[in-house]
Structure 1
Amino acid sequence: MADGSLARMGPEHREEAWQRLGSDTFDLVVIGGGVVGAGTALDAATRGLRVALVEARDLASGTSSRSSKLFHGGLRYLEQLEFSLVREALRERELMLTKIAPHLVKPVSFLYPLTHRFWERPYTAAGLLLYDTMGGARSVPGQKHLTRAGALRMVPALKRDALIGAIRYYDAQADDARHTLTVARTAAHYGAVVRTSTQVVDFLREADRVSGVRVRDVEDGRETEVNAQAVINCTGVWTDELQRLSGSRGRFRVRASKGVHIVVPRDRIVAETGLILRTEKSVLFVIPWRNHWIVGTTDTDWNLDLAHPAATRSDIDYLLEHVNQVLATPLTHDDIEGVYAGLRPLLAGESEETSKLSREHAVARVAPGLVAIAGGKYTTYRVMAADAVDAAAVDLSGRLQPSITDRVPLLGADGYYALVNQTDQLASRYGLHPYRVRHLLDRYGSLVHDVLAMAEGRPELLRPLPAAPDYLRVEVVYAASHEGALHLEDVLTRRTRISIEYPHRGVDCAEAAARLMGEVLGWDDATIAHEVEVYQARVQAERESQDQPDDQAADASRAAAPEARPNVSEPVR
């Protein structure tokens, strides 16, 4: 069974990691704590390399916590004839479902409504047959054809005239932020030094080669030099900025495409499956998400603040307008519980339409000792990571072992299935409802024992968090003691998803969560009050940005909120 203590990321381990950054010599330094950076650190560590991962903000604080939360083959890429991308993604989805992260990645079904007689069903069926044949139906059911009556029984929320029939197929989904965190903790488990709030401010050089980085602890301002044989830039939409900081000429450019999602209560759409709808530009998903639905996404160019992309009123109107075309009872702005905006790091192509840009990834050795990787999609992070480490091989002394992460389960995977079968016993042992235990198992897997052990002698920690009853108080404590959470925002937006799952967006439980975190992190009353104030300002700014008509106005509203990490400096763009 996985031992979570080996990957503990608490305050005392943070200081130890800082000392190691300044004193050890690493084979690889990975910049960026998104899923690709975390995956690269895990890939390198399991090949026997000495690895450090540094992230300026929090793990998954950028794109990797703001995706559609799907592990999917990319059905629409079949139409673009990107067969190799679809096949690769389906293989990764299968690995996640069965071996690597079965506790975090779950099957999810979608209904594809048909609206054209004669040609659309055979055309779509052929595409889905190809999808299933390429690996889409290995451990999940294959496509199922439905009449209009059958589809309406499955999704009573649909207008009767919105379809003439439908096809149901399966993909998979995960909590992206929790998955990324678990990849990073698994890298730490295998020896990687993982440190957040640690920003690269310069690159070290020996003659013409990059020999490491200079980093700043953005919590206290300290700086140190980290020596390494090679550096890998895994910063996603920040790739070009880091490239400029290094003084090296990039081999590719990255463009940011904004994707906005809204979250609505489960009872607003009566359905037992998700939906995938065609739009004039791309596709729209209605994705089951515990007691909610996620509706998204948009696909528009974004040239403003990369750290805090803002959703506009028109983004939200676009989603409502398109989903309401098929719903018998329309959704309104009042139904929305949460909104989030993320940026896809797309490789800049010749086409100006972001939805047409390639989701393939690119990796390049942009200078001796410096590799950059960008593009791709969340589902294929593991392949991207292996390619990035392979590209750095020329700068590493000694023979590089092949990648083995297709055989390395993430923390919490080992023993997960047995614990699912023991749900009732676990519930009885800890005095919890079996439903609660299942929810914990799907967030922590076999690390659930580490989480619940924090409540020994403190039964009050097994009570729900005020105003956010889906989560236990002990989860907040564990986030600070084991999962590297340093600020209230880290817990309310990424360790939990309270910021998008409740209409109050975390404001009503902010003080209770801050006090629980403060016990671990040594906060006094003034610090607790400051954390709550900064978080409330963030929510207020996001609400105001979501009332603005365009990106510029929304960005200005969002920028008014203070940073949880005020010492983070934005690279010159």
Structure 2
Amino acid sequence: MTFSSRRRTEILENMANETLDLLIIGGGITGAGIALDASVRGLNTGLVEMQDFAAGTSSRSTKLVHGGLRYLKQFEVKLVAEVGKERAIVYENAPHVTQPEWMLLPIYQGGTFGKFSTSIGLAVYDFLANVRKHERRTMLNREETLKKDPLLKKEGLKGGGYYVEYRTDDARLTIEAMKEAVSRRVKAVNYTKAEDLLYDDQGKVTGIKAVDQLTGESYEIYAKKIVNAAGPWVDTLREIDHSKKGKYLHLTKGIHIVIDGERFPMKQAVYFDTTNGDGRMIFAIPREGKVYVGTTDTTYTSDPINPRMTAEDRDYLIEAINGMFPSVHLTAEDVESSWAGVRPLIHEEGKSPSEISRKDEVFLSDSGLITIAGGKLTGYRKMAERVVDIVSEQLLQEEGKQFPPCATDGIRLSGGNVGGSDGFPAYIEDKVKEGLKAGLTHDQAEQLVKKYGSNVEQLFEIIQKEKDHTSTDRLPIDILATVIYGIENEMAATPLDYFLRRTGALLFNIDWVHQWKEPVIAFMADYCQWTADEQEKYTEELEQALYQAVHPAD
């Protein structure tokens, strides 16, 4: 199947010309996981996403595939065990977008975690998550803790816990899962909104009215089973279906800020108590010469399409940083970029946003609509398994058609064929040599291999083909290759898709975006044959995102 943004209309027409086994509404990590699981089992599957893939919650997380140590304190033992084990599967199947990150948990007098309880908690965590031997926790004394991070507040410090989490690029993880599903014949299209549900004479849901948000064209797409995996918008679809009864979503907002590493020179990821006494904990994680810090956790009642950092959110995190790292003296001017995301949690009466469970739940409506809500990035594969099990069982009962059980624990995501997590360093070394032969510098080749994994071979092919292209007068060949690859192989339809979700540069290298935005837009406009109005619209969209990444909402 194609996954080119230049062939979106063709894919939509193909979907509209048949009855699918399964249609998924929502192109975040949950929808991508369901599409992959269904395709591996042999279901004829389609997927529509009203924004870009991963544009909602799935590109706005703390970017950790983690087991949720804090959930032990809430006695969410089953959740910790499941997502803890899933971490290793995600890492093994996509080592190019996931990597171990040693995390320091400083222990203070009167803090959330005591020394004994931390030692026991981390040991239980290791056991429940089936942590590999060389990644099991160690306990540190005060001096050892300060050696790991000399910037830490010294007053009241008793020691620390040292354990492994897994850092990921959440948007690229979603894209790679979607690409793998598409390679297995899933038809997936972004910027296509399910504006209405279609029903038969018995009131059973049979399809959707889909509207292409880029062209305005409408399509009727039919399927035997419809899954609502729309994240913060699942209740909107349940309302259309007249099935929003009982449990409902409680949206909470989390924001992260990005600081330059020279201004906040920490080398060690830290998970720390806020010093204001509110009982919350914050991550500070070095990445690509920057440090990102988050997250907040507040109830959110506005439109989830574009959550923003407020001055209050920003100042809360700056106060938390300065409280735990008193020598850095950060101010609002040190924030280079930010992002905000909405968590679609399932409401629990009387609980604060931080206390609400991160467990997922499936709702089955009288019309046959299947809704999946809640959950965590780490658990996306198991969430998908539960949904596709239900779809398979229903199709067996209704049609006598049997599908095999879930097998995605052994399926490498697109780009993940690098010899496994242990073999990735050797793979990088080999492919860098190929990149040098193609005319790249060592740094250019290494960055491409690390980001694209085994798909780097396709980028090298583009580089060989485009070496003499006139566009290289304005764009370096490595950037040109990523733009073409993003359009043709990752359905990047706009400059914002490229700069935010395909590269992450708008978050972690915003100066680079400012440097290359004009030639990238000019190339995309020519390559995709945009009208002048389209080019203006997409340019304005990118400029707005650049402004909002730095400036708080009013």
Please give the per-residue CA displacement for 1:518-562, whole angstroms capped at 9, x wherever unaligned: 243122555434322232134335544x0xxxxxxx3xx5xxxxx
Counterpart of 1:274, as a letter, is A
1:115/1:509 Cα in 2 relative to 1: closer, same or farther (>3 Å)?
A: same
Which of 262, 270, 279 aligns to 1:267? It is 262
Counterpart of 2:291, as a letter, is W
Q: Which residue of 2 aligns with 1:19?
A: 13
Find the aligned partners of 1:203 and 1:384 in 2 and give their Cα distance: 23
Q: Which residue of 2 aligns with 1:356?
A: 355
Counterpart of 1:518, as a letter, is A
1:92/1:465 Cα in 2 relative to 1: closer, same or farther (>3 Å)?
A: farther
What SS does the corresponding residue of 2:233 show, helix, strand or coil?
helix
TM-score, normalised by the number of residues in structure 2: 0.92
Find the aligned partners of 1:256 and 1:215 in 2 and give their Cα distance: 25
Find the aligned partners of 1:530 and 1:227 in 2 and give their Cα distance: 32
Find the aligned partners of 1:225 and 1:123 in 2 and give their Cα distance: 56
Which runs of structure 2 are paired with 1:465-544 in the superposition (5 Å)? 472-504=479-511, 506-524=513-531, 527-541=534-548, 543-544=550-551
Find the aligned partners of 1:308 and 1:117 in 2 and give their Cα distance: 38
| Residue 430 of structure 2 corresponds to residue 422 of structure 1 | yes
Structure 1 range deviating more: 391-400 or 203-212: 391-400
1:373/1:250 Cα in 2 relative to 1: closer, same or farther (>3 Å)?
A: farther
What SS does the corresponding residue of 2:163 show, helix, strand or coil?
strand
Counterpart of 1:101, as a letter, is A
CA contact (8 A) 1:66 1:342 kept: yes
CA contact (8 A) 2:432 2:446 kept: no
Which of 114, 123, 128 aligns to 2:107? It is 114
CA contact (8 A) 1:345 1:374 kept: yes
Counterpart of 2:427, as a letter, is L
What SS does the corresponding residue of 1:339 show, helix, strand or coil?
strand
Q: Structure 2: which 5+ residue stretches go unaligned?
A: none
| Residue 339 of structure 2 corresponds to residue 344 of structure 1 | no
CA apart distance, 1:324: 1.1
Counterpart of 1:532, as a letter, is T
Which runs of structure 2 are paired with 1:129-528 in the superposition (5 Å)? 129-135=123-129, 137-138=131-132, 141-161=135-155, 163-206=157-200, 207-279=202-274, 280-327=278-325, 328-396=327-395, 397=399, 398-415=401-418, 417=424, 419-459=427-467, 472-504=479-511, 506-524=513-531, 527-528=534-535
Find the aligned partners of 1:466 and 1:296 in 2 and give their Cα distance: 37
Q: Which residue of 2 aligns with 1:563?
A: none
| Residue 72 of structure 2 corresponds to residue 73 of structure 1 | no
Find the aligned partners of 2:241 and 2:460 in 1 and give their Cα distance: 45
Identity %: 31
CA contact (8 A) 1:107 1:140 kept: no
Find the aligned partners of 1:464 and 1:87 in 2 and give their Cα distance: 50
Find the aligned partners of 2:390 and 2:245 in 1 and give their Cα distance: 15
CA apart distance, 1:394: 4.7
CA contact (8 A) 2:266 2:291 kept: no
Find the aligned partners of 2:84 and 2:470 in 1 and give their Cα distance: 38
CA apart distance, 1:162: 5.9
| Residue 121 of structure 2 corresponds to residue 127 of structure 1 | yes
1:140/1:185 Cα in 2 relative to 1: closer, same or farther (>3 Å)?
A: farther
Counterpart of 1:403, as a letter, is C
CA apart distance, 1:246: 2.1
1:453/1:525 Cα in 2 relative to 1: closer, same or farther (>3 Å)?
A: farther
The count of corresponding residues between Structure 1 and Structure 2 is 539
Q: Which residue of 2 aligns with 1:9?
A: 3
CA contact (8 A) 1:465 1:509 kept: no
CA contact (8 A) 1:60 1:494 kept: yes
What SS does the corresponding residue of 1:456 show, helix, strand or coil?
helix
CA contact (8 A) 2:102 2:162 kept: yes
What SS does the corresponding residue of 1:340 show, helix, strand or coil?
strand
1:533/1:123 Cα in 2 relative to 1: closer, same or farther (>3 Å)?
A: same
CA apart distance, 1:212: 1.1
What SS does the corresponding residue of 2:47 show, helix, strand or coil?
strand
1:182/1:250 Cα in 2 relative to 1: closer, same or farther (>3 Å)?
A: farther
1:262/1:462 Cα in 2 relative to 1: closer, same or farther (>3 Å)?
A: farther
Find the aligned partners of 1:348 and 1:461 in 2 and give their Cα distance: 55
What SS does the corresponding residue of 2:464 show, helix, strand or coil?
coil
CA contact (8 A) 1:265 1:337 kept: yes
CA apart distance, 1:451: 1.6
1:129/1:123 Cα in 2 relative to 1: closer, same or farther (>3 Å)?
A: same
1:250/1:448 Cα in 2 relative to 1: closer, same or farther (>3 Å)?
A: farther
CA contact (8 A) 1:212 1:231 kept: yes
CA contact (8 A) 2:463 2:478 kept: no
TM-score, normalised by the number of residues in structure 1: 0.89
Find the aligned partners of 2:496 and 2:168 in 1 and give their Cα distance: 20
Please give the per-residue CA displacement for 1:411-456, whole angstroms capped at 9, x wherever unaligned: 1111353522414422321233333333222221100011222122
Please give the per-residue CA displacement for 1:87-111, whole angstroms capped at 9, x wherever unaligned: 101111011122x111211000111
CA contact (8 A) 1:255 1:345 kept: yes
Find the aligned partners of 2:534 and 2:87 in 1 and give their Cα distance: 42
Which of 15, 18, 24 aligns to 1:30? It is 24
What SS does the corresponding residue of 1:212 show, helix, strand or coil?
strand
Counterpart of 2:146, as a letter, is L
1:495/1:190 Cα in 2 relative to 1: closer, same or farther (>3 Å)?
A: same
CA apart distance, 1:140: 5.0
Counterpart of 2:373, as a letter, is A
CA contact (8 A) 1:77 1:83 kept: yes
Find the aligned partners of 1:80 and 1:233 in 2 and give their Cα distance: 29
Q: Which residue of 2 aligns with 1:560?
A: none
CA apart distance, 1:201: 1.2
CA contact (8 A) 2:6 2:487 kept: no
Q: Structure 1: which 5+ residue stretches go unaligned?
A: 1-5, 547-553, 558-573
Please give the per-residue CA displacement for 1:64-95, whole angstroms capped at 9, x wherever unaligned: 00000000000000111111100101111011
1:463/1:224 Cα in 2 relative to 1: closer, same or farther (>3 Å)?
A: closer
CA apart distance, 1:203: 0.9
Please give the per-residue CA displacement for 1:214-243, whole angstroms capped at 9, x wherever unaligned: 111111111111111110000111011111
Alpha-carbon RMSD across the aligned residues, in angstroms, is 2.5
Find the aligned partners of 2:177 and 2:299 in 1 and give their Cα distance: 29
Q: Which residue of 2 aligns with 1:569?
A: none
Find the aligned partners of 2:27 and 2:324 in 1 and give their Cα distance: 39
1:447/1:140 Cα in 2 relative to 1: closer, same or farther (>3 Å)?
A: farther
Counterpart of 2:498, as a letter, is V
CA contact (8 A) 1:274 1:285 kept: yes
Counterpart of 1:239, as a letter, is V
Find the aligned partners of 2:372 and 2:114 in 1 and give their Cα distance: 38
1:329/1:319 Cα in 2 relative to 1: closer, same or farther (>3 Å)?
A: same
Find the aligned partners of 2:548 and 2:267 in 1 and give their Cα distance: 35
1:250/1:363 Cα in 2 relative to 1: closer, same or farther (>3 Å)?
A: same
Which runs of structure 2 are paired with 1:556-571 in the superposition (5 Å)? none
